[in-house]
Structures are given as C-alpha cells and as structure tokens.
Amino acid sequence: MFPLSSEDRVNFCSCQPLLFNTVFRSPSQSKELKEKNTDEVIIFDVPLLFESGIDKFCNKILVIISDYEVQLNRIVERDKINRELAEKIIKSQLSNEERIKKADVVIENNSNLEDLFKNKYIINGIPTQSIRSVIKKFKHYISSDNVFINLAKGIELGSHKRISEVFCDELGDDISFAVLSGPSHAEEVIKKMPTAVVAASSDINLSKDVQKLFNSDWFRVYSSTDLIGVELGGAIKNTLAFGIGMLDGLGYGDNTKAAVITRGIHEMNRLLISYDANPNTINGLAGVGDLIVTSTSLNSRNYRTGLLIGKGYSMEDAVDKIQMVVEGIPTTKALYQLSLENDIDLPITLEIYKVLYENKNPIDSVSSLMGRSLKSEF
C-alpha cells in the first residue's frame, strides 16, 4: 500500500489506478484469478473498497460499519485531526446505507475494549510469546467474572511457563481458565468437517461448561481435568511436527516418519510425567491426535516450515515463506532449555533445536539419533 495523509484520504478515489497496480501486476491477472478453478483465496483488506473500484474483483464482500458519531470520534483520535476534517473524510465516502446494499455480510462495530470484557467468556488466540504483554496492556478491563478459554499452544520463552501459568502470573491464581485443544485445523473447522477436541481445566465444572459451550453436531468436545497435560501435549507436538516435516523435506520414507512419531510420543510421555501430569492424556486428542494432524498435513504451518528446512531453506527464509506465526520455533527453544533445567531426556527435541538454532545439518541430526546407545523400547 501507499502512505496517505488525512487530507489525501478525502481525494482517495483519484488514487484508484495506483491502488489497482498494487493488487494486480497486470490487468489480465484479475481475469485469470476468476477463471482459475482453485481453492486459493485472496483477501483484500481495503478501507475504501467501493470508492477504489476493487469491489468488482470480489466474489464476497464483508462490510464493517459503525454509527456516525463512533466513526467520527475514532478518526479524530486515530489521526489526531479536528472534527471538521474528519467530517470531510466521512462525507467523501459511501454512506453506511450504500455500503450495506453492496455487502454480502455486515458487521456492526460500535463497541470498545471495555465492552469486550463485559462478556463472560474471553477466547485467547494470541501467539504464546505475545500473551503476557497483551494481558498487561488490557488487564485493567478484566474482572473476576471473566472466563478465559485458551486456543494457543506453546511454552513461554525465558520463564518456560505454560500459558495458564502466564495468565495466573498476571491476573492471579483464582482466575477461571480452560484450554480447548486437539486436532482441529481451522481450514477444516470452518467447513464444518467432523472434528473432535478436548476442553481441559483444573475445575471439572468449568471444563464441562466449555464442553457444552462449543459442542455441536460436527464439533465434538470431550472434557478433562488434566490442564497441565493438555497444555504440554499441545506444545511439544509442534516441535515434533517440525522434525517430521524436515524428514519429508529430506526425502525419507514412511518408516522414518513412523519411527519419529512413535519415539516422539515417548518424549511427550516423559515430559508429562516430569510435571506429574496424567500420561493417558498423551494417548488422547491433545497428544497423539494433535500430533498426527500436525505432522502429516500441509495445513500445519509447523510441518510446512520443517519441510522447507529439510529442503535446504534456512529457518529465517522458511518462516518468511510461510508468512504466519510458527509457534513451534520458540517453543522448541523453550522445551530445550526446560529439558536441561529439569534433566528430561528429549533427544528428538534436542536435535530439532540444534537444526533450528545451531545450524546443524538435518541429515547429521538423523545420524545422531540413529547412532544413540542401544536400549530397551520401554
């Protein structure tokens, strides 16, 4: 996109050709996209979609509107301008009534952060390494009535704490906290494909509340009181998915993949036992279930990143190509450090850490694992 001052926005429509060129490199590209039979989706996040003329290239249009005074006050606060100029900006745009006529979906956005936290249930999908800073920023809105349902999976760098511990650090030990975890790629959930997950909380009543809240005829939710086990399972499976992706990138076969998945489950068990969590959790949706879906599907960003590294990409280049938050990278570092502190034997995690952070050749890591001293399987 291109920078515009507040006054420039009044004449935004005159910039249509420039905006068009930032979206399509050639006029034929829009036609090719429409004619192409593909599941690929391009999303335009354009404040002035209709005014710029880009709406003609869209199959579905979602419009977010707010009342006039709310919109006016937000522009004044955001751009640090006077009301008169803000009013000119609004008048240069289509009215809400005109936008609604052109929209497939309309969302009203008149609320603020204070209104958000008046809801009982607060769902957290913020990446693990950013959770603490976000809580600090908004904790003055939070009340004892809020119930937090966490979807993120990982271990915090530095503190090596689980996400529930981060919440308790910032909000106190008496908060209501649950985790929803398991094999649930968003790409399939949004299509209402049959999916099963687990709702976990140290409070059985809360885990059952969350179970009832999310359960449907295509989204089955089980309950659990093993909050620690579910959190740890969701964290380490991302690291193992990296490793399995790397193996595929290197060209190894199903035997190798099966070996790493199986021995990876052993590592998951060791980690849970060291935290006095329930080892049976690893046999469930938050353990084996999530490991299978994360380590065998191209929908998994952790698997795809590992696949690229196995093909020779650096960690930085692989992440840049994925263009999404890859939780498994910082989690691998946190798990490695945690294993050293607590003397937990996690050989696969160790080798993945060395590939990611010490530039060890993945082939050499495979040799290191295959050359370990002989032992009984169990």
**Residues with a known catalytic role:** 237
148 pairs with which residues across the strands?
A: 122, 177
